[in-house]
Amino acid sequence: MKLVRHDSEVEIIGIDDFDLAKTFECGQCFRWNADENGAYTGVAMGRAASVYRRGGGDGEKGSIFISCTANDFETVWRDYFDLDRDYAAIRKQLGADGFMRKASEYGAGIRILRQDGWEALCSFIISQCNNIPRIKKIIASLCQNFGERLDFNGSAHHSFPSARKLAALEERDLTPIRCGYRAAYILDSARAVANGDIDLEALSQVTPFDARKTLKGIRGVGDKVADCVLLYGLHMLDSFPLDVWMKRAVAKYYGPDFDAGMFSPYAGIAQQYLFHYIRHHSDE
């Protein structure tokens, strides 16, 4: 991977395993949107950016461009996009069985984003019993109503509201975002984080078992939400989120005695490959 710093962009030359559509559309994040040219604009860590690919083909990898300063690249985006991890080596390690080898090859290019822990917790509480377009709509409204304004490329964007900001609200204050029964869960989690009952930074340093147990003490957080927070917010790459649909899928391909430990220590990356493959091969 080679970096070239331009006036308002950082160019990443020759990077393996970074497919923008697969990464942003695989269900792990909800604040990145594509334009007609395939460029994605989003907000993370209080920064707005556009990301796009140019070049490639005929054996060439092309370049990824991120609209940011060199300082923001090093302090925010390099870590957020997990750019120093060798996903090709992980795919090789995961490809011990035929089906995972097929799924990981199909999913090549997915990267697990290092998202903010609070944003991941709140977002996946909102995701419960919801579809992705509606999740994105609710989160966008939450940010527009309660986040800080960010002006970027001539448009207004908004940061994800802090736990402290939301903790001061009442359920009626969330009526405009139309999140239904999830309003109570959002506020409970915000208060738990704001008052220190849940220390997400500290949780990232304990075992996944202990972190999961703590997260499930929050009202409205079950196994699936907790595992998503572990993987996407605390970057515990051995976490394997399972909803009912995924449980049926892994039982179909691996049998009723499936154990995600077979993919350790990268079960979370394996889960993304499986999820992406199954979403696009549901008729098999």
Q: Check residue 284 and give its pLDDT.
A: 66
Strand partners, 150: 157
Per-residue tokens: 203: 């949780």
Q: Which has the closest alpha carbon to 276: 27, 17, 15, 20?
A: 27
Q: Which amino acid is at 225?
A: V
Q: CB neighbours (10 Å) of residue 255?
A: 8
Looking at residue 57, what is its pLDDT? 53
Q: Looking at residue 279, what is its pLDDT?
A: 87
pLDDT of 62? 83
The residues, ordered by sequence, that sit 6+ positions from 280 with a Cβ below 8 Å of its Cβ are 106
CATH architecture of 117-233: Orthogonal Bundle (1.10)
Chain region(s) in the chain for CATH 1.10.340.30: 117-233
- Which residue matches tokens 């969330």? 174
CB-based contact 282:246 (threshold 8 Å): no
Segment 212-264, tens digit of pLDDT: 999 999 999 999 999 999 999 999 999 999 988 788 889 889 998 899 999 99
* pLDDT in the model for residue 194: 98
pLDDT of residue 282: 72
b/e for 45-81, b at 16 or more Cβ within 10 A? bebbbbbbbeeeeeeebebbbbbbbeebbeebbbebb
pLDDT for residue 227: 97
Q: How far is CA 216 from CA 49, 73, 116, 171, in A?
A: 33, 34, 18, 21
Q: For residues 193 and 216, what is the distance between their CA atoms, to the nearest angstrom?
A: 13
Predicted pLDDT at 245? 78
Region(s) of the chain under CATH 3.30.310.260: 2-84
Reduced 3-state DSSP string for the chain: CEEEECCCCEEEECCCCCCHHHHHCCCCCCCEEECCCCCEEEEECCEEEEEEEECCECCECCEEEECCCHHHHHHHHHHHCCCCCCHHHHHHHHCCCHHHHHHHHHCCCCCCCCCCHHHHHHHHHHCCCCCHHHHHHHHHHHHHHHCCEEEECCEEEECCCCHHHHHCCCHHHHHHHCCCCHHHHHHHHHHHHHCCCCCHHHHCCCCHHHHHHHHCCCCCCCHHHHHHHHHHHCCCCCCCCCCHHHHHHHHHHHCCCCCHHHHCCCHHHHHHHHHHHHHHCCCC
Per-block mean pLDDT, blocks of 10 residues, the chain (284 long): 92 90 95 96 97 73 92 96 96 90 95 98 95 96 98 95 98 97 98 97 96 96 97 97 86 90 95 91 72
- Whether this model's pTM surpasses 0.75: yes
Task: Calculate Rg over the CA atoms of the chain.
Answer: 19
CA distances from 142 to 136, 186, 217 (A): 10, 11, 24
pLDDT at 56: 65
Task: Write the class of the CATH domain 2-84.
Answer: alpha beta
pLDDT computed for residue 171 by the predictor: 97
> From CA 100, how far away is CA 90, in angstroms rounded?
12
